Structure 1
Amino acid sequence: MTSVFIVSGLIFLILLCFGMYGLSRILIYFRLAEFTYNQSFMDNLIYYGSYIGTGYFLLIAIEYVFDELKMRFSDNKYFQGWYFHILTVTVSTIIFYLCVQINYQYIHINFFVIYFIIAFLYLLTELFYPESEDLNRKD
């Protein structure tokens, strides 16, 4: 059973690497980003990997906080419908930019490009995990 988790985890990481590589090439081609850190393979892997990892865990934490706020203040209009989604994406982008992006001096990506990337990723999570339903629930 553990081998299934290891294999699926490795496949996920490989696909993530190819996806991030492809995204970086698209951003460079359209001159939307500039990646100037170019050292050895391991140094690049650690530098860019820490950027992706830190950003990922920060966005997961922000999404968790907003889900808790949505449950706690469910009658507030800002935590319902499109207000909630726009608020979540905007706050996530601002916090990501201030906490992660500013600290990486060799990665130059415009704020609005980051905003659209985070909005697209948020759209995918809402599309594939609607309303955070518990799909394992037995009724």
Structure 2
Amino acid sequence: MTTCGVCSQTVDLANGPHIHDPKICRACGRSLPATAFAPHKSSGDGRRHQCRECVAADRRAPLNPEERAESRAREGAAIKADRNQRLRDSGYRWVIQSPDGRILSIEQAEEELDAIDLEDSRSYWDEVPPGADL
């Protein structure tokens, strides 16, 4: 049993794929028929998350690792922005919490960050052991 990321339904993939038609491409954001997405056995709906056109463009792209990383970062940022907008639309809100536990407005946080002397803050971060959970 798993939860569908589109409709939030609990589905049993043993009964076959849970298909939404049309489907949204995670790379280009277009709404396309499910047949525009190649089969993918491990996906909940049995289809890839990127449309065939985007997969082909990605394969034709130069194999320059820096360009590929930038492309992936842009795709990830678009997905994150979409998810954050859906959360906002559902009533979720984010807060800024200071290291001492106070809840701050954006303006208060900016003022505190502006007041920090970078040389003093570097000495604090230098004391944190490598690999420590912050």
TM-score for both structures, normalised by structure 2: 0.29
Higher relative contact order (CA 8 A, sep 6+): 1
Relative to its length, the structure with more strand (as a share) is 2
TM-score for both structures, normalised by structure 1: 0.28
Asked which structure has the greater CA Rg, the reply is 2
